[in-house]
């Protein structure tokens, strides 16, 4: 990709899954990359694989944690060119009448408030750099309804609203803002989602997994590296005219399991 060498990049929840794939992709383009994660074991494993990474244990829903992370990034990198708001949690699974308000609030806090708190700190640095890019990881759940996963879907819809609003607000400063909407991505996180949904619906995990595959036009789950490739494009010179978009990388999801 053009124009990524030397860029200063923050990837939240970069310790595993999609975040780790995005961090590795930016490193392959000779960018300088910082990741955070709430899981110290995941951070340690990713740092073992990529010792050049900057890391911090951060809960993106905690304002003090986010402030401390950005202070460390400024000291290490002297600024920022790219923010990838990848941190998110699946949240509770079940009918709306069964959901605990605390679980709802935590899901929204990580998936939506975390993106806000990081963008709030990143934007002054991007402006000082003369422009840059923000990638918010939403979901196909942010494009359509998702039965039994209402807090997650609501937060991911809101992430798209945040994306489109910030694209308008920040465009005059040369900052482009886009959302990537992954579908069913291979990995441990999706396995946990399938397990929780199978329990909630009283069916087998294989039936749930087959439902996700069946409702995807390409009849397959998505490798995390495909999400990373889209993030690289959107932050590169080749994506310089793309902003305010919610781009699905999902094999064309026709509907969501439920």
- Write out the chain's pLDDT in tens, 258 residues: 799 999 999 999 999 999 999 999 999 999 999 999 999 999 999 999 999 999 999 999 999 999 999 999 999 999 999 999 999 999 999 999 999 999 999 999 999 999 999 999 999 999 999 999 999 999 999 999 889 999 999 999 999 999 999 999 999 999 999 999 998 888 777 888 888 888 888 889 888 888 888 888 988 889 999 999 999 999 999 999 999 999 999 999 887 654
| 196 within a domain of the structure (yes/no) | no
- Residue 16 maps to a domain: yes
d(CA 112, CA 156): 7
Q: Rounded to whole angstroms, what are the CA distances from 206 to 40, 46, 221?
A: 31, 30, 14
Structure tokens given for 124: 């002054």
Number of domain units in the chain? 1
Structure-block tokens of residue 238: 């080749």
CB 212 within 8 A of CB 221: yes
Residue 162 lies in a domain: yes
CA pair distance 247, 46, nearest whole angstrom: 27
Burial class (CB in 10 A: 0-12, 13-18, 19+), 45: middle
**What CATH number should be reported for the domain holding residue 141?**
3.40.50.720
What is the C-alpha separation between 60 and 203, in angstroms, rounded? 34
Look up 146 and say whether it is catalytic. no
> Is residue 190 domain-resident?
no
Residue 2 lies in a domain: no
Query: Of 251, 250, 233, nearest to 242 (Cα)?
Result: 233
With respect to residue 203, please indicate whether it lies within any of the assigned structural domains.
Answer: no
- Whether the full predicted model's pTM is greater than 0.85, yes or no, is yes
Locate 73 and state its tokens.
Answer: 């990034």
**Residues of the chain by 3-state class (helix, strand, coil), percent to 5:** 50, 15, 35
Query: 137 is in which domain, residue-wise?
Result: 8-183+222-249
Catalytic site residue from 146, 152, 173, 212: 152
């Amino acid at each position: 990709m053009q124009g990524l060498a030397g860029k200063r990049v923050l990837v939240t929840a970069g310790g595993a899954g999609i975040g780790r794939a995005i961090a590795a992709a930016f490193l392959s383009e000779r960018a300088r990359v910082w990741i955070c994660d709430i899981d110290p074991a995941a951070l340690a494993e990713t740092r073992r694989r990529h010792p050049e990474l900057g890391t911090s244990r951060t809960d993106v829903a905690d304002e003090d944690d986010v402030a401390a992370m950005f202070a460390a990034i400024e000291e290490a990198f002297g600024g920022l060119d790219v923010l990838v708001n990848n941190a998110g949690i699946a949240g509770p699974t079940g009918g709306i009448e069964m959901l605990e308000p605390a679980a709802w609030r935590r899901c929204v806090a990580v998936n939506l408030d975390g993106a806000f708190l990081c963008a709030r700190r990143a934007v002054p640095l991007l402006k000082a750099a003369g422009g840059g890019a923000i990638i918010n990881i939403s979901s196909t759940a942010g494009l359509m309804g998702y039965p039994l996963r209402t807090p997650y879907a609501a937060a991911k819809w809101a992430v798209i609203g945040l994306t489109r609003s910030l694209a308008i607000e920040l465009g005059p400063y040369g900052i482009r803002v886009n959302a990537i909407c992954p579908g069913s991505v291979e990995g441990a996180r999706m396995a946990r989602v399938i397990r929780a949904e199978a329990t909630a619906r009283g069916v087998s995990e294989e039936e749930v997994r087959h439902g996700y595959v069946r409702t995807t036009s390409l009849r397959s789950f998505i490798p995390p590296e495909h999400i990373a490739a889209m993030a690289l494009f959107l932050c590169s010179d080749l994506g310089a005219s793309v902003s305010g978009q919610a781009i699905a990388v999902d094999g064309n999801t026709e509907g969501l399991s439920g």
